[in-house]
Structure 1
Amino acid sequence: MADIRIKVAKDKAQFIKALRATDETSTPFQSYADALVFAAALGIKQGRREPIKEYSKEIDPIRQDIFSSKDYDQVINLLAIADTNDPNSLASNVIAEEERIKIFEEYANAGLEILEEIFKGSVNYSEQLLLFLSSERNSLTIEDNEFDLSSFL
C-alpha cells in the first residue's frame, strides 16, 4: 500500500482546526479524521463534491493508517464505489488508491463548506451540529407504502 495521505483544502484549514477538540475546547470531533469522515458523508448525502484548488500547509497530511485504525477506510471505499459505480475503484494499486483518496477529499471539502454555512455565526459548534442533525432527522420523509409510527408519539 502506498503512503498516500489525506489532505485538507487551504481555505478550510482554520475551520477544521476549530472543529477539532483540544485540551482547552470541547468541540464535536476528537480528531481531524473524525471531522473529515463526517464532512465527506455529509458531502455525498447532499450530492456535493468540490475539487480542492490548493492544499493546506498548516495541517499536516493525515496518514491513512489513522483512518484505518478507526475503520474509516471502509467509508473511503464506500464513497468511491458510490461515486464511480465501478468495483475496479477498489483495486489494490496506487492509481485506484489515489482516486479513492481524491474522491474522499473532494466530498469532505464539500461537506466542510456545508458545515461552514451551518455554523456561520454560531459560538457552540456542538449545539449547532445537534440542531442540524435533529432537523435532518425530522425532515426525512416516509415512503408512501410505509406505515408512519411517529403519529402515535
Structure 2
Amino acid sequence: MTTEVALPGELRVRRPKDKETLIQQLLAEHDGIFASMAEVLLFAAALGWSRGDDGRVPLKAHGEPIRFDVFKKMATAEAFIESLAVMVSPGDTEILSDSRALDRVRIFEEYANGGLAILQGELNTSRSPVAETLIDLVRDACVADRDRTSKVPSDIRKMISPRPDWS
C-alpha cells in the first residue's frame, strides 16, 4: 500500500478508462438506472466484493476522476469504502487513519473495476437490457445471502434477523 497523502479536498476516485462506455451505459440518462457515476462505482464495488478475490482488479488506466467529496455527500458511501478497506486489511490498525485515505480509495477503485468487469461479462453473456441484468445480479446475491443465512442455527438467526422473534 502507499503512504502517499492527499489533502481532503484533493482526494479523487479514479474511473477505469476501459470501462467508460459501460459506466455511461449504466447512467439513467443512457438507459441505465444510476443517477451518477459515483452510484455506478458503489454498486460495482459491492458486486466486486461479493465475488471475492476475482472481484478485485487493479486499474491499468483511468479516466476523469471523481472528487471524493461527491461520495462523502452520499449517506453511506464513505462508510462502505472504509468498510471495504477494513475487511481487506484485517489487523491493519492504521487503515482508517487520515494518512491512509488514498489506500482506502485505491481498494475501492479495484473492487469497482472488478465489479464493472463482472457486469460487462454478464451483459455480454445475457444480451439482456441493462436494468434486467442488474436486477438478476441483485436477485442472485439475495439468494446466495439466503443460502448463507440458512446455515446459521435458527436460535441465532432469530436474534440477528431484522425483526427478532423473542418469543
Q: Give the Å deviation of 1:107.
A: 0.6
Gaps of 5+ in 1: 149-153
- Distance of 2:98 and 2:141 partners within structure 1: 36
Structure 2, unpaired ranges of 5+? 1-7, 158-167
2:130 equivalent among 107, 125, 128: 125
- Pair 1:146-2:154 in alignment: yes
Shift of 1:114: 0.8
Task: State how far apart, in whole Å, the 2-side matches of 1:37 and 1:97 are.
Answer: 17
Deviation at 1:88, TM superposition (A): 1.0
How many angstroms apart in 1 are the aligned matches of 2:11 and 2:154?
Answer: 44
Across the two proteins, how many residue pairs are aligned to each other?
141
Specify the alignment match of 1:90 in structure 2.
96
Partner in structure 2 of residue 151 of structure 1: none
Query: Which residue, out of 38, 42, 58, partners 1:37?
Result: 42
Match of 1:73 among 69, 78, 81: 78
Q: Partners of 2:51 and 2:107 in 1: how far apart?
A: 15
Aligned position for 1:18: 25
Q: Please provide the CA RMSD for this pair.
A: 1.8
Structure having the higher helix fraction is 2
**Partner amino acid, structure 1, of 2:154:** E
TM-score of the aligned structures, taking structure 1 as reference length? 0.84
Offset, 1:54 = 1.1
In structure 1, what is the Cα distance between the partners aligned to 2:108 and 2:48?
9
- Runs of 4+ more than 3 Å apart: none
CA deviation digits over 1:93-151, x for unaligned, max 9? 2xx01111110100100010111111125352112211222233223311152389xxx
Cα separation, partners in 2 of 1:87 and 1:45, compared to 1, 3 Å? farther
Match of 1:9 in 2: 16
Measured in 2, the distance between the counterparts of 1:138 and 1:112 equals: 21
Q: Matched residues in 2 for 1:87 and 1:41: separation?
A: 23
- 2:19 and 2:36 mapped to 1: Cα distance? 15
Matched, 1:115 2:119: yes
How far apart are residue 42 of structure 1 and its match? 1.1
Q: Distance in 1 between matches of 2:133 and 2:93?
A: 37
Percent identical? 32
Length-normalised TM-score, structure 2:
0.77
